[in-house]
A and B are shown apart, each in its own frame.
Chain A
Amino acid sequence: DTGVSQDPRHKITKRGQNVTFRCDPISEHNRLYWYRQTLGQGPEFLTYFQNEAQLEKSRLLSDRFSAERPKGSFSTLEIQRTEQGDSAMYLCASSPKRGTPKYNEQFFGPGTRLTVL
């Protein structure tokens, strides 16, 4: 069990540029979540997938944000035309299938810290 991995760990970009983050969940987990965390706040839910289906998107997720999980394995989160307010830690988490042990637990990756200049 290698844990959830995220790439890159840090990203610095200029306002208006597009960025893409990748998340690789724990191999047997079929649910994958994206959260965003700013300083002094708890993580805020953005979106989640069960296998390749995107089941829910937060109202926080503007049209500039898009997430995919094309084969039900890794996921990507893209932010178009970045703004300074997008600066945050972007966290990915995964959960095992329903009916398996720990199905309700979410395990987080190390996060991608985005800084928009």
Chain B
Amino acid sequence: QKEVEQNSGPLSVPEGAIASLNCTYSDRGSQSFFWYRQYSGKSPELIMFIYSNGDKEDGRFTAQLNKASQYVSLLIRDSQPSDSATYLCAVIATDKLIFGTGTRLQVFP
């Protein structure tokens, strides 16, 4: 079992809709969770992190964490074509990041 799992997609949503990206992790002791956005050919860019159970909002982005279910999600409200990218979920393990394979999001006009 991979430590961090994501559906590779693509996830296609219309402009203006809510995009929901999901991630599960295997280490119950994981404490810190990160969402990175990666455009094709570019490096990952940190968009959100979450440490506590519940929701954390930042602009159009909401991260949700459920430690009991070992589940992290990222909601993108009012999706825009510029949000089209691969979204990488990552957990911290002894200072290093463990990434999932990423979910490709396509937002169509």
Contacts of B92 in A (CB 8 A): 104
Residue among A31, A43, A109 with the highest chain B CB neighbour number at 10 A: A43
Contacts of B72 in A (CB 8 A): none
Q: Which residue of the partner chain, among B43, B46, B49, B101, contacts A109 with CB atoms under 8 Å?
A: B43
Query: Size range of the interface on A?
Result: 20 to 34
Within 8 A of A (CB), among B92-107: 92, 94-102
> Residue B42 at the A interface, CB < 8 A?
yes
Contacts of B102 in A (CB 8 A): 41-42
> Residue B44 at the A interface, CB < 8 A?
yes
B26 to chain A, nearest CB (A): 15
In the complex, the answer to whether B99 meets A105 with C-beta atoms within 8 Å is no
> Residue B66 at the A interface, CB < 8 A?
no
> Residue B8 at the A interface, CB < 8 A?
yes
> Residue B20 at the A interface, CB < 8 A?
no
Contacts of B32 in A (CB 8 A): 104
In the complex, the answer to whether B94 meets A41 with C-beta atoms within 8 Å is no
In the complex, the answer to whether A55 meets B88 with C-beta atoms within 8 Å is no
In the complex, the answer to whether B8 meets A43 with C-beta atoms within 8 Å is no
> Residue B19 at the A interface, CB < 8 A?
no
In the complex, the answer to whether A55 meets B43 with C-beta atoms within 8 Å is no
In the complex, the answer to whether B8 meets A40 with C-beta atoms within 8 Å is yes
Q: How far is the CA of A45 from the CA of B94 in the complex (A)?
A: 12
Q: Which residue of the partner chain, among A44, A104, A107, contacts B99 with CB atoms under 8 Å?
A: A44
A interface residues, Cβ below 8 angstroms from B:
31, 33, 35, 40-45, 48, 55-56, 89, 91, 93, 104-111
For the complex with contacts A110-B42, A110-B43, 10 further pairs of A-B residues with Cβ separation under 8 Å are A33-B96, A40-B8, A41-B101, A41-B102, A42-B88, A42-B99, A44-B99, A55-B95, A93-B97, A104-B49
A-B contact pairs, 28 of them (CB 8 A): A31-B95, A33-B97, A35-B97, A40-B101, A41-B102, A42-B4, A42-B90, A42-B99, A42-B100, A43-B97, A43-B99, A44-B99, A48-B95, A48-B96, A56-B94, A56-B95, A56-B96, A89-B43, A91-B43, A104-B32, A104-B92, A105-B46, A105-B49, A106-B34, A106-B97, A108-B43, A110-B42, A111-B42
